Structure 1
Amino acid sequence: MNRKRATGILTLQIAILILFLGGWELGARYGLINTFLFSSPSNIVTILIAQFHRGTLMLNVQVTAYETLVGYLVGAIGGSALGLLLWFSRFVADLTKPFIAALGSIPVLAVAPMLIIWFGTGFRSKVVVAAFSCIVVALINAYQGTEKVDKDQLELFRSFRATKFQTFRKLIIPASTPWLMVSLKLNVGFALVGAIVGEFISANAGVGHMIVVAGASFEIGEVLAGIVLVMLMVLVFNMVIALIDRILKHRHFT
């Protein structure tokens, strides 16, 4: 994407966001929108500022971000590693395929209460739920990446009598990198959803806990403030992943 087109798209995105927020705010101020049900952008900003001054905003963000990050590292990185390792044995890959598919079909909301019973109500259970949310997607994407490696390149490595480990290190991992990066980007949201779901069920801090408490008292503004925090956290995590992707591409082409 050239710079001019990227700038145009960014400008249009900002304009759409301003129009949406402006229309929402005007509708709330002139009584066209029920503020009890939908709140308003200015009220959400006021709530976030008040929470920041009380110290609860940073506490909630730090708790959820830490749970998400650790769960993401365990689930996304661990799942990607397992998916890559399946390349070594087609038999094991075919044997485990239906079990992996079955595991991936389980909604995190259904399994989260059981995981919290097993691992307790503290930090560890939220990490496990976050990891569970993204491990299968990471595993499947990584294995599909190994399956898409160019067959001619594989034959070239075989003709030079490269060992399986040499082929894996020099060809399979680099060729699977685009699939791995797509998986890492997708799993940011999945890991955060897992951490939030864990906090919904049992927590005394975190953005998920904040949303549940606000919802129980019908404070829609605070619920929406929590949703805004979740979106901002995903945005920051995705920016970090995009930066890592650019660094890897730069090293690959230099």
Structure 2
Amino acid sequence: MATNRGRRNRAAVTAGVRYAIIFALLALWEYNTRIGVLNPFYTSYPSAILADLYEFTMSGELAHHASITIGEALSGLFFGTAFGVGFGVLFSQIKFLGSVITPILTAIAGIPQLTLSPLYILWFGFGFKSKVILAGMMVFFGVFGSTYNAIKNLDQRWIEASSLLGANAFQTLTLVVIPACAPWIISSIRSGIGSCMVGAIMGEYIGASGGFGWMISFAASYFDLDRVLACVLILLVFNRTLNWVLDRLEGRILHWRTESNLSLKTAAD
């Protein structure tokens, strides 16, 4: 009980310090712009960004563009994760298939997907599909690599122990292998949150009629920095929200995992 209370207190202190730093930086930004140290044409300032965000919201444009970008990003994250985990499990279980296909996927993963975005637009059009595919591909390779390598390098003694306890192949896979590899899979999904957003935004930059990428490009062409930074703020909040949701899911899925407090100082002592 005391341990849980101490953990909650540490979390509250950490959050308090974090928000205090953010508030101090924003206040410093606002103050330096007001006194003329910073040029608002190049940097804008927090109160102007919030005013533009309010106007953006009240006009209904925010909901319209958010539904496009968030839909593309979440769809890409879902499909990239599903196919990444699926193929990672499949190729780790069928050794011959894995040895044939994995080097090909590794080579393709070495190509920055953003350089292929014009091809995705050309092949799949300017609509929703091309953005989802680009976002999904940016998620897929990281999730696939983490899943495949985590299963491939799993301690063989875990497999042998489950067999001794009478588990069949499916039970071993679902009750031992995947849970043991879950920390690496979840870590790759966490990286994929940022990647899917980049894919959706860049796809909208190249060709779209809506979404935050399109709005940022449009606003930048008119030097409307307030609107550009308002969109960036929304993307930051969305990214943080997704990470918060993943943190909660991770806590439920990996409730058995103990958190190490090891530090370099502890190790040296």
1:144 aligns with 2:149: yes
1:225 aligns with 2:230: yes
What is the CA–CA distance in structure 2 between the aligned matches of 1:134 and 1:195, rounded to whole Å? Answer: 11
TM-score (norm 2): 0.88
Match of 1:135 among 137, 140, 143: 140
Query: In 2, are the aligned partners of 1:207 and 1:229 still within 8 Å (CA)?
Result: no
Q: Which residue of 2 aligns with 1:165?
A: 170
Query: In 1, are the aligned partners of 2:139 and 2:189 still within 8 Å (CA)?
Result: no
TM-score (norm 1): 0.93
Match of 1:117 among 119, 122, 138: 122
Alignment of 1:167-186 (within 5 A): 167-186=172-191
1:28 aligns with 2:13: no
Q: Which residue of 1 aligns with 2:46?
A: 41
Query: In 2, are the aligned partners of 1:214 and 1:220 still within 8 Å (CA)?
Result: yes
Query: In 1, are the aligned partners of 2:183 and 2:254 still within 8 Å (CA)?
Result: no
Percent same amino acid at aligned positions?
31
What is the CA–CA distance in structure 2 between the aligned matches of 1:92 and 1:227, rounded to whole Å? Answer: 42
Match of 1:2 among 2, 7, 24: 7
What is the CA–CA distance in structure 1 between the aligned matches of 2:143 and 2:171, rounded to whole Å? Answer: 23
What is the CA–CA distance in structure 2 between the aligned matches of 1:198 and 1:166, rounded to whole Å? Answer: 41
Count of aligned residue pairs for this structure pair:
253
Q: Which residue of 2 aligns with 1:50?
A: 55
Query: Which moved further from structure 2: 12-21 or 100-109?
Result: 100-109
Q: Which residue of 2 aligns with 1:77?
A: 82
1:100 aligns with 2:105: yes
Query: Which moved further from structure 2: 82-91 or 184-193?
Result: 82-91
Structure 1 unaligned spans of 5+: none
1:156 aligns with 2:161: yes
Structure 2 unaligned spans of 5+: 1-5, 259-269
What is the CA–CA distance in structure 1 between the aligned matches of 2:58 and 2:163, rounded to whole Å? Answer: 63
Q: Give 1:229 deviation, angstroms.
A: 1.2
Q: Which residue of 1 aligns with 2:261?
A: none
Query: In 2, are the aligned partners of 1:44 and 1:221 still within 8 Å (CA)?
Result: yes
